[in-house]
Amino acid sequence: MGKIIAIGGSAGSIQVIRQICKELPQSLQASVLIAVHVGAGNRDLLAAILDSGGTLPASTAVAGEPIDEGHIYVAPADHHLVMDGGVLRLGRGPRENMARPAIDPLFRSVGISAGPEAIGVLLSGMLNDGASGLADLKRCGGLTVVQNPRDAVESEMPQTALLASDVDYRAPAKDLAALLIRLVLEGAGPTVAAPSSVALEVAIAMGRPSNSPTIAEIADPVPLSCPGCGGTLSQIRRTPLRFRCQVGHGYTAEALAHEQEGSVDEAVRIALRVMGERIVLMEKMIREALQAGRTAAAATFEERAQEYKRSADVLMDAALKSLSAGS
């Protein structure tokens, strides 16, 4: 079967993937597995683009098909792509870092199945899906490659991967194909036993029922809630810092912070709307009290209206500061 090249990317990665695949030779003694963030409703077009633009045949991955040397396989929309020995599997397990297909499950599975024959490549993208999977692929004895962040359209994904583990190689897009060709020709390193915790996370991506005892094998509960389902999160014991809920949703710390920020913004908007409605209600109650000659009640309602206005000003100030910090 030869070596396995696993490539992951998000925003800004498609052009790089096309360039890499175009330059890979027909004689390549390796298979290429690709996971790119695409929405559930997207059409699977990337494989056809790669198939027509290079010397290697490319296709959208099919569950259960054997992995052929010299072939490119692309994860279909809304499915995790994983390697299981010499065949491909497609999983509808929980999203990781808000994505399915996610890059982490692909990298982990290739690390487990191919060991020192695995080569993981992480390209341009936002947030940091792929960083922990790349670290796990290296734990299994594979080689890791990252696109130079300064060369990437979106530098966050490759940058966080470099911070998360000791990456073997980094290179600009124009040099990645040549680097991969050289790595394929090199001898493989020593075999390393894959950690059981890595295999468990691949099983979760494949849809293994996830519950408290399962998550307890790899993580410890923390006082944080899952943005996806509201359940309790547990902190994964391996680095980099990550979390999973009992349903199996997975988040890096950065992805979790990104999702929480959206929840906070939504909460502020709701609170502002409620405050505005209360101010309108108090103003109506003030007018009614004055018309009835109940001046004491009107004064009380006026005091409450002023309190709501002050609270609304505080919320508005917080919302503006949050907007300013994010821009």
Positions marked catalytic: 10, 37, 129
Q: How far apart are CA 49 and CA 26, in angstroms?
A: 17
The answer to whether 143 touches 119, Cβ cutoff 8 Å, is yes
Q: Per the structure block, which two tokens stand in for 23?
A: 């330059």
Question: What single-letter amino acid sits at 124?
Answer: S
Query: Is the CA virtual torsion 250, 159, 110, 103 positive or negative?
Result: positive
Q: Residue 121: which of 68, 86, 171, 75 has the closest Cα?
A: 171
The helix/strand/coil state of 312 is helix
- Please list, in sequence order, all residues whose beta carbon lies within 8 angstroms of the beta carbon of residue 296, skipping any fewer than 6 positions away: none
Q: How far apart are CA 269 and CA 273, in angstroms?
A: 6
Q: How many CA atoms lie within 13 A of 62 on its CB side?
A: 5
The helix/strand/coil state of 235 is strand
